[in-house]
Amino acid sequence: MSENTWSAIEKTVAQEAFKKAYERETNDLIDQLSEKIKGVDNIDAVWEIHDYLSAKRHQIDGRYYLTMQKYLGQENDYSALVFLFADLLKEKWLLREDLSGLSPDKISKISALSYL
Amino acid sequence: MSENTWSAIEKTVAQEAFKKAYERETNDLIDQLSEKIKGVDNIDAVWEIHDYLSAKRHQIDGRYYLTMQKYLGQENDYSALVFLFADLLKEKWLLREDLSGLSPDKISKISALSYL
């Protein structure tokens, strides 16, 4: 399959990879939050947690929810996933083996972008 | 002292009461946050905590920080405190004894407003 054509299998691989990254990143956020809360003994530390959650929410909304809407919507634009997967690989929410099943040219492109 | 005139002693009482309410409300927020975090095992629960903190921050900013700026600024407008203290009394961040030292007419007005 070429870069802009996604087979049914590739779509499934992409959806699974997407789901795994989402689970990892949100579970990590829950862990981080539980950890951050431990040392909190003043209100400024509470507002720091609030700022942290605001930033993460903004990031996760943009990264996952908007992409999910695309999936479920009419667009079905899988090509944009290449860029998202590169980011997720770079930040280690995705592992290289999660992409196994995608065509070599897609994996190459995702890998190359992940080094930027 | 009449309702719109605040003696030096009354100003000290008001500042102490204000400080106590602030300490109680922010300490309660820290406790609530520690409690809420315990059951969190999914990302929606994290966003609920974020919403809770956004609301509390908005409330505490308006209630205390703006009032503190008035204190420290040129305005020194203690008359507005009557309304704030009524709210704080209603929500139990202030106790009636914290107001001891204010003139009877101020205490009456604060009490009356706290029932609204």
Collect all residues of chain B within an 8 Å Cβ-Cβ radius of residue A30: 40-43, 46
State yes or no: pLDDT of A71 exceeds 70: no
**Complex-level ipTM:** 0.80
pLDDT attached to residue B2? 62
Q: Give residue B76's pLDDT band: very low, low, confident or very high (50, 70, 90).
A: low
Average pLDDT, chain A: 88
Distance CA A89, CA A103 (A): 17
Domain annotation covers residue A1: no
pLDDT at B21 over 80: yes
Residue of chain A minimizing CA distance to B55: A50
B84 pLDDT more than 80:
yes
- Percent of chain A with pLDDT strictly greater than 70: 91
Rounded Cα distance between B91 and B23, Å, is 14
Degrees to nearest 5, angle at CA A34 with A37 and A98: 145
Task: Out of A56-60, A62-66, B62-66, give the one with best mean pLDDT.
Answer: A56-60
Per CB distance under 8 Å, which residues of B are interface residues toward A? 26, 29-30, 33-34, 37, 40-43, 46-47, 49-50, 53-54, 57, 60
| pLDDT classification of B79: cutoffs 50, 70, 90 | confident
CA-to-CA dists, residue B13 to A19, B102, B104, angstroms: 57, 7, 13
Within 8 A of B26 by CB-CB distance, chain A residues are 42-43, 46
Minimal CA separation from A49 to chain B, in Å: 9
Q: Residue A19: list chain B partners with CB under 8 A.
A: none
Torsion of CA A68, A70, A76, A80, to 10 degrees: -90
Residue B3 in domain: no
What phi and psi values does residue A100 have, to the nearest 5 degrees?
-60, 125
Contacts of B33 in chain A (CB under 8 A): 37, 40, 46, 49
Task: With residue B13 as reference, give the H or E element that holds it.
Answer: helix B8-38
Q: Is residue B99 part of a domain?
A: yes
Residue B77 belongs to some domain of the structure: yes
Of residues B74 and B100, more confidently modeled:
B100
| A78 occurs within a structural domain | yes
Mean pLDDT of B2-22: 86
- B17 domain-assigned: yes
| pLDDT, mean of residues B11-27 | 92
pLDDT at A108: 93
**Would residue B2 count as lying in a domain?**
no
| Rounded CA separation A24/A17 (Å) | 11
Mean pLDDT computed over B16-39: 93
HSE-CB for A78 with a 13 A CA cutoff: 19
Average pLDDT of span B91-115: 93
**How many Cα atoms occupy the beta-carbon half-sphere of B113 within 13 Å?**
16
H helical segments located in chain A: 8-38, 43-60, 66-72, 81-90, 104-114
Question: How high is the pLDDT of residue A66?
Answer: 74
Residue A104 maps to a domain: yes
Closest CA to A97 of A20, A8, A36: A20
pLDDT level of residue A98 (50, 70, 90 thresholds): very high
Which chain A residue shows the shortest CA-CA distance from B41?
A: A30
How many C-beta atoms lie closer than 10 Å to residue A87's C-beta?
Answer: 16
pLDDT reading at B7 higher than 80? yes
Domain range for A83: 8-114
Nearest to B43 among A26, A46, A47 (CB): A26
Work out how many domains chain A is built from and give that number. Answer: 1
| C-beta of residue B84 within 8 angstroms of C-beta of residue B63 | yes
> With bands split at pLDDT 50, 70 and 90, how would you rate the model's confidence at A63?
confident
Q: What are phi and psi of B4, to 5 degrees?
A: -100, 0
Mean pLDDT, to the nearest integer, of A37-62? 93
